Amino acid sequence: MKKLLLILFIPFIVNSQQISVMDAVVLKDGSDAEYMEIEEFWSKIHAEIISQGKKMQWSIWKTLPGDPLTEDSKPADYMIFNSYESQEQYDASQDVDYVAIAQKVHGISKKKAQKMIDSSFDPREATRSYTLSIQAQAAAADFNPTPGLVCSISLMQEKNDDYESFEKEVFKDQFQKAVDIGAQTFWGFTRVEERSENAYTQFSHICFNIDGENENTVENDFKTQKLVELGLQSREMIPNTGSMELVLFEN
């Protein structure tokens, strides 16, 4: 359970090359039930791939979208995360025989498995993909993600080369203090390394936040407050980008 969202929820200690591919899925109107049926089919396939050591984790989140980023595009209905412990593991996953695994885990014929896989994208209108790497995070020691968990999404565009340093060396400490008093459960700071041609380009980084039960009473001293102000000037935050709720996961 605590492996959930490798790149978002596990202390980033061992391997700085961990990768998470985030797919923002836009569904065709009225296809939600069909889509979830397909993802239930895929969940067992991903579980088997994970057991083979070719992936660390897979999860699906239903979005609670805010304002659309552009007037001519729809916000995502679901977010899918496929996480890998290294570039080598990611590369190995490209050779997975999905049909054979589907036959194995579902006990179906090769023809049936191929048909199910070929129709997997039928409910989708579009998929925007982003490859993320985690840069910093703060999390409660007893953090235990379960279905229904809500995580807010913040999209940032860096304005200068100091931005990441402010997040790692100033804001991380602020969030850790909030975590320590129970006002925050998790904070994760990620960089977008690659994106699909149809993906949004208005942001360079994504932050993920999960609130705690307590009020945030953290107060900054003069020096820290000035650093926070400089940090805020180093990036532009896209307002009201929404949140997501955990639905399915395998790890």
Which residues pair with residue 134 across a beta bridge?
A: 190
How do residues 68-104 score in pLDDT, each as one tens digit? 788 778 899 999 999 998 888 988 888 899 999 999 9
For 84, 189, 190, 207, 219, the CA distances from 166, given in Å and listed in that order, are 27, 11, 13, 13, 18
Of 190, 220, 196, 194, residue with least CA distance to 208: 190
Which band of pLDDT confidence, cut at 50, 70 and 90, is reported for residue 4?
Answer: very low
How do residues 104-131 score in pLDDT, each as one tens digit? 999 999 999 999 999 999 999 999 999 9
Q: Is the pLDDT of residue 49 over 50?
A: yes
Residues ≥6 apart with Cβ < 8 Å to 51: none
Which band of pLDDT confidence, cut at 50, 70 and 90, is reported for residue 8?
Answer: very low
How would you classify residue 242: left for phi > 0, otherwise alpha for psi between -120 and 50, otherwise beta? Answer: left
Which band of pLDDT confidence, cut at 50, 70 and 90, is reported for residue 59?
Answer: very high
Give Cα 114 distance to the centre of its chain: 28
Q: Is the pLDDT of residue 3 over 50?
A: no
**What are φ and ψ of residue 118, in 5° steps?**
-65, -30
How do residues 197-250 score in pLDDT, each as one tens digit? 999 999 999 999 999 999 999 889 999 999 999 999 999 999 988 999 999 989
Residue-level pLDDT at 17: 62
Residue 5 burial (CB count, 10 A): 26
CA distance 13 to 10: 9
CA distance 158 to 198: 21
Residue-level pLDDT at 41: 97
- What pTM was computed for the model? 0.88
Residue of higher predicted confidence among 238 and 3: 238
Residue-level pLDDT at 71: 74
Residue-level pLDDT at 15: 41
The owner of tokens 């850790």 is: 176
CA distance 34 to 63: 17
Alpha helices by DSSP H, listed for the chain, are 6-9, 32-51, 87-93, 98-106, 110-118, 163-166, 172-180, 222-233
